[in-house]
């Protein structure tokens, strides 16, 4: 599909005399941000702030909740039960901390486990307000103050389908199905996750239902061989006799980073649950390229530790007996290396490196690696046996500095001879001002994956669509952000602010169809900076899609403060080829209707980005850009513009259409334009008929109206109607 260029437009429109809560769409249209449980706050990231009005009082507070999972055993290796918060002593960097929360998670095994779990009383926690999910494939977070999986052992099966050839995929899936069928015990709850096509998906959330787990495992589609071992960039590579190009090892750097980043994403998903989690990672090895992947390796391990996730790695290749010249799954190497033994040595070394990474990943997070064993279900059993009864402790650290430094945690218990197993420290969070480029990129990616949107910035969006040809539709997207919410800073003597944008569009099956990344530095003069406090910023982008149902997630970040705004929206593009295609169907196919209060020359936008408004956009007419009124609020002192397109692709010849616009207050018609005949159209196969109205609103009293656009085809007796509410202000 074609992807059109994004652009940022800042139009200095007069401030409408309307309160901000009325100028925006209803709050239900912008996804709210539900309250987050205190226990879910990652160390160093819990921050709350309340500000008063200008000239009033200001109150701010900073609290960082640290959650520790502690296993306490006696000298014989038996778990010690019945401890309370008073029995534990916690220090952070040598400073005593006060235990705020202590809960015991009792994991029972054996024939009586099911009965004991069924007898557990449900926690007395008020139900959380339901939130409609617009982002699929996520782990549902726990309700505030609740432990959703009390006294349960949580194990997530994670399949890296991008790093396993089909034989290894079959072996891993068979091992998982074998464990589910024969080795699951009473307290076990399992989830199924996969990484493929650049996305982490949750195929099944935590459940003890064997049938659901087996069904989720069967959903995994076998992919093509990714030839993980064939891109080492040394003497062990196959000789394909191809033309010179980029070294495969360069791309392998980014492939490994993507694999580790996806694993970090999975750990963050599981971190929304307060209990301890085991992640069983199936892959055909994982090879680091020198020191290039070390930063992402550390970030992944740190994310797992912060989320109380232990990673158990499983080498899906099993026990390998590698032939000297390689097996039939890859081409033979060439050159003199095959005669000197260098090829064999390089192959063995590469294989060991892929296993070394799996071992290090497990060891760094407290897990265990299963290598050189054909019974892959033992890797899941290792995770099962490693998790016994434990305590959940939490405390509010006295060190509130967001400096990103490591903090050493020491936990003791007042029982002689007791042995404790816990996380020995964590890295504190960072202020946005101290973020490096990698930190900023990860913040945006994490925000994009969140099921609960961040709404620090107010965002409103309008999505339209216009038919381009018999299969594709152009989808212009207009987003407004109040300029008063952006922070201006002086650099180089000029007022400016930097905005970063991410737009992602998924189809109804969760596949990413389009995405746009943009980062624009807006430089403004002193006069325009003053106007920015009173006018919104309009950001526009566009892309082409096929007919269908889509969900869109849009993120905007103020690069000066790190504040993020999220807008999540679902929209539907009909197949207009089927509209009016039969004699009994009297519908006239039309596009969406754009209402605007301003037309501006394309070159008149105040911005310093090199990108420009796409000339292919239907909203660009004779060099004039039609600016959609996202909030549908219009001033009497300005004309209102109406634009849409009708399509006569079913007609043998172009026919004259008649269109008019009506305004209603309740059931009363307040105003209606004269019928406008349209006989000229675009020279294309769709017989596109553009329609544009310019309306003076001076004679209408302020208030709320329903605007209706009617299009009639007298020859074929077809019609189309469109209606939307608007607000008219003085």
- Same-domain pairing of 177 and 286: yes
- Same-domain pairing of 70 and 162: no
pLDDT value of residue 144: 60
Instruction: State the average pLDDT over residues 321-337.
Output: 63
- Same-domain pairing of 76 and 28: no
Residue 509 lies in a domain: yes
Residue 140 lies in a domain: no
Instruction: State the average pLDDT over residues 42-63.
Output: 42
CB atoms < 10 A from the CB of 485, how many? Answer: 17
pLDDT value of residue 623: 75
The tens digit of pLDDT for each residue in 228-244 reads 334 444 444 443 333 33
Place of tokens 């849409």: 644
Is pLDDT of 365 > 60? yes
- Same-domain pairing of 380 and 397: no
**Distance from C-alpha of 473 to C-alpha of 470, rounded to nearest angstrom:** 9
Instruction: State the average pLDDT over residues 92-98.
Output: 93
Q: Helices then strands (H, E): number in the chain? A: 11, 37
**Rg of the Cα trace of the chain?**
30
- Same-domain pairing of 27 and 78: no
Torsion over CA: 21, 25, 30, 35 (sign):
positive
Structurally, the chain folds into a number of domains equal to 3
Residue 647 lies in a domain: yes
**Helices 294-306, 248-270: inter-axial angle, 10-degree rounding:** 10
Report the candidate in 627, 650, 649, 652 with the shortest Cα–Cα distance to residue 640: 627
Structure tokens of 22?
Answer: 């009325």
Place of tokens 């006799």: 241
CB atoms < 10 A from the CB of 505, how many? Answer: 22
Report the candidate in 287, 404, 293, 291 with the shortest Cα–Cα distance to residue 356: 287
**Distance from C-alpha of 337 to C-alpha of 18, rounded to nearest angstrom:** 77
Structure tokens of 645?
Answer: 């397109």
Structure tokens of 417?
Answer: 């001879």
- Same-domain pairing of 399 and 465: no
Structure tokens of 554?
Answer: 């849009």
**Distance from C-alpha of 413 to C-alpha of 420, rounded to nearest angstrom:** 8
- Same-domain pairing of 382 and 415: no
Cβ distance 68 to 422 under 8 Å?
yes
Residue 408 lies in a domain: yes
Q: Which residues contact 288 (CB under 8 A, 6 or more apart)?
A: 256, 294, 297, 353, 357
The helix (H) or strand (E) run that includes residue 624 is strand 624-628
Structure tokens of 429?
Answer: 């969070």
pLDDT value of residue 525: 67
Q: Predicted confidence band at 450 (pLDDT cuts at 50, 70, 90)? A: low
Q: Of the residues 363, 388, 413, which one is the last residue of a structural domain?
A: 388
Residue 136 lies in a domain: no
Q: Determine phi and psi for 507, rounding to 5 degrees.
A: -85, -175
Structure tokens of 224?
Answer: 């093509």
Residue 174 lies in a domain: yes
Report the candidate in 443, 484, 400 with the shortest Cα–Cα distance to residue 48: 400
Q: Which residues contact 190 (CB under 8 A, 6 or more apart)?
A: 154, 155, 156, 157, 180, 184, 204, 206, 207, 208, 213
Q: Hey, is 278 helix, strand or coil?
A: strand
- Same-domain pairing of 258 and 371: yes
Taking CA 728 as the corner, what is the angle to CA 725 and CA 730, rounded to the nearest 5 degrees?
Answer: 170
Name the pairing type of β-strands 390-396 and 99-105: antiparallel
Cβ distance 220 to 157 under 8 Å?
no
Structure tokens of 112?
Answer: 């009586």
Residue 119 lies in a domain: no
Q: What is the CATH number of the domain that holds 654?
A: 2.60.40.10
- Same-domain pairing of 102 and 235: no
Q: Determine phi and psi for 664, rounding to 5 degrees.
A: -125, 140
Residue 665 lies in a domain: yes
Is pLDDT of 611 > 90? no
Structure tokens of 584?
Answer: 């009994």
Q: What is the CATH number of the domain that holds 268?
A: 3.40.50.410
Cβ distance 680 to 622 under 8 Å?
no
Q: Predicted confidence band at 492 (pLDDT cuts at 50, 70, 90)? A: low
* Domain residue limits at 629: 7-33+452-729
Q: Supply the pTM of this predicted model.
A: 0.63
pLDDT value of residue 498: 83
- Same-domain pairing of 273 and 336: yes
The helix (H) or strand (E) run that includes residue 345 is helix 342-364
- Same-domain pairing of 361 and 231: yes
pLDDT value of residue 331: 61
Name the pairing type of β-strands 489-491 and 494-507: antiparallel
Q: 500 has which bridge partners?
A: 519, 557
- Same-domain pairing of 212 and 244: yes
Instruction: State the average pLDDT over residues 602-618.
Output: 52
């Amino acid at each position: 599909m074609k992807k059109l260029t994004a652009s940022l437009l800042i139009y200095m429109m007069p401030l409408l005399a309307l309160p901000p809560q009325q100028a925006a769409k209803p709050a239900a249209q912008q996804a709210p941000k539900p309250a987050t449980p205190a226990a879910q706050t990652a160390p160093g990231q819990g921050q709350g702030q309340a500000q008063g009005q200008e000239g009033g009082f200001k109150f701010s507070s900073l609290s960082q909740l640290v959650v520790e999972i502690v296993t306490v055993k006696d000298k014989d290796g038996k778990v010690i039960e019945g401890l309370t918060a008073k029995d534990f002593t916690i220090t952070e960097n040598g400073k005593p901390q006060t235990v705020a929360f202590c809960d015991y998670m009792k994991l029972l095994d054996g024939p009586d486990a099911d009965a004991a779990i069924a007898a557990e009383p449900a926690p007395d926690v008020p139900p959380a307000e339901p939130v409609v999910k617009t982002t699929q494939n996520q782990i549902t977070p726990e309700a505030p103050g609740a432990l959703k999986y009390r006294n349960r052992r949580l194990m997530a099966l994670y399949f890296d389908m991008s790093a396993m050839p089909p034989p290894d995929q079959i072996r891993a899936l068979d091992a998982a199905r074998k464990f589910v069928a024969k080795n699951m015990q009473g307290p076990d709850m399992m989830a199924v996750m996969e990484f493929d096509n650049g996305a982490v998906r949750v195929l099944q959330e935590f459940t003890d239902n064997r049938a659901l787990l087996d069904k989720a495992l069967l959903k995994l589609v076998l992919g093509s061989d990714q030839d993980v071992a064939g891109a080492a960039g040394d003497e062990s590579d196959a000789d394909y006799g191809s033309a010179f190009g980029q070294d495969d090892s360069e791309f392998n750097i980014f492939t490994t980073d993507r694999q580790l980043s996806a694993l970090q994403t999975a750990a963050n998903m599981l971190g929304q649950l307060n209990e301890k989690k085991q992640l069983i990672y199936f892959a055909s090895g994982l090879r680091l390229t020198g020191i290039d992947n070390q930063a992402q390796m550390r970030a992944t391990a740190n994310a797992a530790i912060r989320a109380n996730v232990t990673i158990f790695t499983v080498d899906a290749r099993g026990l390998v007996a590698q032939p000297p010249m390689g097996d039939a799954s890859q081409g033979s190497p060439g050159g003199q290396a095959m005669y000197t033994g260098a090829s064999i040595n390089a192959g063995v070394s590469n294989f060991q490196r892929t296993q070394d990474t799996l071992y290090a990943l497990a060891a760094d997070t407290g897990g265990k690696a299963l290598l050189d064993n054909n019974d892959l279900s033992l890797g899941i059993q290792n995770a099962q046996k490693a998790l016994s009864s434990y305590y959940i402790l939490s405390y509010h650290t006295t060190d509130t500095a967001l400096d990103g430094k490591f903090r050493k945690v020491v936990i003791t218990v007042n029982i002689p001879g007791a042995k404790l197993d816990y996380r020995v420290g964590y890295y504190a969070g960072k202020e946005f001002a101290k973020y490096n480029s990698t930190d900023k990129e990860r913040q945006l990616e994490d925000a994009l994956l969140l099921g609960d949107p961040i709404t620090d910035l107010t965002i409103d969006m309008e999505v339209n669509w216009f038919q381009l040809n018999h299969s594709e539709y152009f989808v212009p997207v207009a987003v407004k952000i109040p300029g008063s919410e952006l922070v201006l800073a002086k650099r180089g003597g000029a007022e400016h602010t930097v905005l970063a944008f991410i737009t992602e569009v998924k189809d109804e099956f969760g596949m990413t169809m389009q995405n746009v990344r943009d980062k624009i530095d807006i430089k403004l003069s002193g006069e325009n900076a003053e106007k920015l406090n009173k006018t919104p910023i309009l950001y526009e982008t566009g892309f082409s899609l096929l007919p269908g149902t889509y969900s869109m997630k849009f993120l905007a970040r103020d690069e000066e403060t790190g504040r993020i705004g999220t807008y999540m929206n679902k929209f539907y593009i009909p197949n207009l080829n089927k509209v009016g295609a039969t004699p009994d169907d009297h519908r006239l196919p039309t596009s969406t209707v754009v209402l605007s209060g301003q037309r501006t020359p394309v070159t008149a936008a105040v911005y310093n980005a090199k990108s420009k408004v796409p000339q292919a956009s239907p909203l660009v007419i004779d060099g004039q850009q039609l600016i959609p009124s996202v909030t549908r609020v219009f001033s009497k002192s300005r004309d209102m513009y109406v634009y849409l397109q009708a399509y006569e692709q079913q007609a043998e010849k172009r026919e004259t259409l008649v269109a008019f616009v009506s305004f209603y207050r309740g059931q009363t018609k307040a105003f209606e334009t004269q019928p406008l005949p349209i006989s000229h159209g675009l020279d294309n196969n769709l017989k596109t008929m553009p329609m544009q109205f310019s309306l003076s609103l001076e004679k209408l009293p302020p208030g709320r109206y329903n605007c209706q656009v009617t299009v009639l085809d007298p020859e074929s007796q077809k019609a189309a109607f469109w209606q939307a509410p608007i607000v008219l202000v003085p």
